[in-house]
Amino acid sequence: MTALKICSVIILAVVLLNVQETNGALSSRTWRKIYKANRNGPYLGLVIPNLFEMNPLLQSPSFTSSNLTLDFDGRRFRFGTIGEKKVILAMTGLGVINAGITTQLLLSLFKIEGVVHCGIAGNANPSLNIGDLTIPQYWSHTGLWSWQRYGQGPKDELPLESDGDYPKKIAYLEFANYTVNATHVASCDNLLNNIWFEAEEVYPIDGTPEERQHTFWVAVDPHYLQKA
């Protein structure tokens, strides 16, 4: 019996010694770094898609690193200044999801006064050339579609349209209109039919929690647009 008690005590001691300190998803050490960084805020957040686009900024004489970096959740947040402005640089990775996650981490962890997204992009405007600097007044995410069944058209109701989820308010693309190399036919059809562009669901920080709003065009902050 005594030997069993001693064995139980030893096992309990081993378990306790192997328990690692946890503080939610962030360690206490990381929280201390965030707290220290925020004491020097607020910062302007710069979100950049990849290192190919970030490296020229890191090597620019306009950027001065503070030698403070913070790694979390696969992201690295670099602190420094551009001119007299305190900034945090964050590489997002490609894609809307990566950009959203990185930007949300930036806003949730640090004292941020504004966010600027910069990087290269393509365009459909023939008056713009490679190397031109463009500053949009609005932007949108055009990847949310309601894909209409083959055989249906603009006069047919979309799924959930009656509930206000997928209204036909913006525009649609008919795949048959983009058929190429079709000869000796009066018209072409396409089984992919139509896609209707839809507005995103948004939940404003100053709105009622879980009460959604819909928006397709997102206006750039007027203060930063004027500065640009």
The answer on pLDDT for 121 being more than 70 is yes
Clarify whether residues 145 and 223 are in a common domain: yes
The answer on pLDDT for 117 being more than 60 is yes
CATH of the domain at 60: 3.40.50.1580
* Residue 2 pLDDT: 55
Domain-embedded: residue 130:
no
Give dist(CA 221, CA 214) in Å, integer: 18
Burial label for 78, CB within 10 Å (0-12, 13-18, 19+), is: buried
Four-residue CA torsion sign, 128, 130, 132, 137? positive
Residue 1: which pLDDT band, with cuts at 50, 70 and 90?
low
Clarify whether residues 100 and 43 are in a common domain: yes
Cβ(170)–Cβ(216) under 8 Å?
A: yes
End residue of a domain, out of 52, 84, 117: 117
Clarify whether residues 144 and 183 are in a common domain: yes
Clarify whether residues 64 and 108 are in a common domain: yes
* Residue 193 pLDDT: 93
Domain-embedded: residue 10:
no
What's the first-to-final CA gap in the chain, in angstroms?
Answer: 79
Q: How large a percentage of the chain has pLDDT more than 90?
A: 31
Summarised one tens digit per residue, pLDDT across range 13-48 is 444 445 444 445 778 888 888 999 999 989 999 999
Domain-embedded: residue 129:
no
* Residue 119 token pair: 């990087």
Clarify whether residues 223 and 143 are in a common domain: yes
Q: Looking at residues 201-210, what average pLDDT do you find?
A: 87
Summarised one tens digit per residue, pLDDT across range 131-170 is 888 888 888 888 889 999 999 999 999 988 888 788 888 8
Task: Provide Rg for the chain, Cα atoms.
Answer: 26
Domain-embedded: residue 8:
no
* Residue 106 pLDDT: 93
The answer on pLDDT for 90 being more than 50 is yes
Clarify whether residues 111 and 72 are in a common domain: yes
CA–centroid distance for 168 within its chain: 26
The residue to which tokens 């206006």 are assigned: 219
Domain-embedded: residue 4:
no
Clarify whether residues 81 and 149 are in a common domain: no
Domain-embedded: residue 86:
yes
In the chain, beta strands by DSSP E: 43-48, 63-72, 75-82, 85-91, 112-117, 138-139, 145-148, 172-174, 194-197, 200-202, 213-215, 218-219
Question: For residue 205, what are the domain limits?
Answer: 138-227
Clarify whether residues 143 and 219 are in a common domain: yes
Give dist(CA 171, CA 225) in Å, integer: 27
Give dist(CA 69, CA 79) in Å, integer: 6
Residue 4: which pLDDT band, with cuts at 50, 70 and 90?
very low
Domain-embedded: residue 7:
no
Give dist(CA 51, CA 56) in Å, integer: 9
DSSP 3-state of 56:
helix
- How many domains is the chain partitioned into structurally? 2
